[in-house]
Amino acid sequence: MGFKVSIIIPTYNRADALRAALETIGRQTYPLGAIETIVIDDGSTDSTSQVAASAYPCMPRYIRQANRGSTTARNTGANESHGDVLIFLDDDILIEPGFVGGLVHEHETQPRVVGLGTFRPYHMPDESSFRRVYAELTATLTLKGVPECVPAGAVNAEASFIECTSNAFSVRRADFFNIGMMQDLIGDGQGLWGDVDFGYRAYRMDFAFRRNPAAVCYHHDYAINDREDYTRRSEKIACWSVALIRKYPKLDGQLPMLADKRPIAFGEDNPRLIIRKTLRALTSTRPMLTLLERNAGWLEAHYPRESLLRPVYRWIVGGYIYRGYRRGLQEYPVTATNAHHATTE
């Protein structure tokens, strides 16, 4: 039968999304008898427990914990698992029938590998202009600024540890614990940047990262339903990126989403990058962002063409990333602990 697989899904108050995710697991071509699904309910107050108890071709194990965050939930699932290979999914990830088999293939053919899902755009009926544009963008470009899919029919793709996203990745169970499990970056239980943290630790232990073209999935991302929600999340993610860099100083300059957000380094930056950084600083001021947002609203109402809206949206989101990163530089200053990491990593 091959590897036994444990699919681990942390969830919190998203019963409808969880139901859809569990239904797609039941349609896998990989033998369902070799798939164990574990739902970790992080203290939900909605109907999550009833959804998990519904009938599915691959019935989940339901584990409830107090609201301690997705990092703890993923580690709880791993501790409770029995599979040879762990697949971590978020509750808003829908997977194609070949998803599990595609990731298992990576572990059958590679001794030390982290498998990554191949994302495709998830569109909804009557979706907003912003959601329509960002459903495409987030399927090819994560907030971290790295490719998140390969062309249909492409061969297995080597990837970077920066592309490790906790919503759809796999690792052998023993390797997960040897790498050090998921770690809480700033101590509040949230998983932002915890995936890249995990990926970097795996990278330093000589693990490869491979995106399997058969492991197709769709991210039904609630945050892109509304431009304001998405920019708020972008700002928070950018702020926390500084905490990651403070923990691993060698990552400074390696996160593509921050390429034109970092301070100008005269003598190091080429003239083109200096111009980009200057423009980014100017367009990220509160008055300029307000103007860009008003222009976006006018275009949405009168000329909702993706070719016009896409660059405006990108500049708006980039502005909030800039503001979040600069705020993070103040909230996560260099400390003696940071300096210790710089000499020991």
Q: In the predicted model, is pLDDT for residue 153 greater than 90?
A: no
Mean pLDDT of 253-271: 90
Q: Using the predicted structure, report yes or no on whether residue 188 has a pLDDT greater than 90.
A: no
**pLDDT at residue 190 greater than cutoff 70:** yes
Are 242 and 201 within one domain? no
Whether 172 and 240 share a structural domain = no
d(CA 78, CA 58): 18
**Rounded mean pLDDT, 58-82:** 94
Based on the fold, state whether residues 101 and 197 are members of the same structural domain: yes
Closest CA to 23 of 50, 63, 61, 52: 52
Mean pLDDT of the chain: 89
pLDDT at position 137, please?
81
Residue type, 288: M
206 in the same domain as 184: yes
- Say if residues 80 and 9 touch (Cβ distance below 8 Å): no
pLDDT band at 20 (very low <50, low <70, confident <90, very high): very high
Q: Looking at residue 234, what is its pLDDT?
A: 93
Asked which of 198, 223, 248 is the last residue of a domain, the reply is: 223
Q: For the residues 80-97, what does the mean pLDDT come to?
A: 96
CB distance 78 to 181 below 8 Å: yes
pLDDT at 142 over 70: no
239-260: pLDDT as tens digits = 999 999 999 999 998 898 898 9
- The pLDDT of residue 39 is 96
Say if residues 12 and 42 touch (Cβ distance below 8 Å).
Answer: yes
| Dist CA 236 CA 229 (whole Å) | 11
Q: How confident is the model at residue 154 (pLDDT cuts 50, 70, 90)?
A: very low
* Same domain assignment for residues 193 and 68: yes
Q: How far apart are CA 17 and CA 273, in angstroms?
A: 41
**Is the pLDDT assigned to residue 21 strictly greater than 90?**
yes
pLDDT band at 152 (very low <50, low <70, confident <90, very high): very low
Q: Are residues 216 and 237 in the same domain?
A: no
Task: Pick 143 or 170 by higher pLDDT.
Answer: 170
pLDDT in tens, 2-13: 799 999 999 999
Residue 223 pLDDT: 86
The residue type at 308: L
The CATH code of the domain that includes 110 is 3.90.550.10
Q: Domain tally for the chain?
A: 2
Question: 217 and 271: one domain?
Answer: no
72, pLDDT greater than 50? yes
Half-sphere CA count of 165, side-chain side, radius 13 A? 25
Same domain, 10 and 159: yes
pLDDT tens-digit readout, 216-242: 999 998 889 999 999 999 999 999 999
Report the relative pairing of strands 85-89 and 5-11 from DSSP bridges.
parallel
What pLDDT was estimated at residue 157? 83
278: pLDDT strictly greater than 70 = yes
pLDDT band at residue 144 under the 50/70/90 scheme: very low
Which secondary-structure segment (H or E) carries 308?
helix 306-331
Structural domain span for residue 65? 5-223
Q: Do 209 and 251 share a structural domain?
A: no
Q: Helix, strand, coil shares of the chain as percentages rounded to 5?
A: 50, 15, 35
**Are 86 and 148 part of one and the same domain?**
yes
Find the range with the poorest average confidence among 30-34, 51-55, 87-91, 311-315. Answer: 51-55
Work out the pLDDT band at 148, boundaries 50, 70, 90: very low
Kindly state the percentage of the chain with pLDDT values over 70: 91
Predicted TM-score (pTM) of this structure: 0.90
Both 200 and 247 in one domain: the answer is no
Q: Residue 81's pLDDT is what? A: 97
Do 122 and 92 contact (CB within 8 A), yes or no? no
Domain boundary among 223, 247, 270: 223
Residues 207 and 247 grouped into a single domain: no
- Give the domain-ending residue among 223, 254, 286: 223
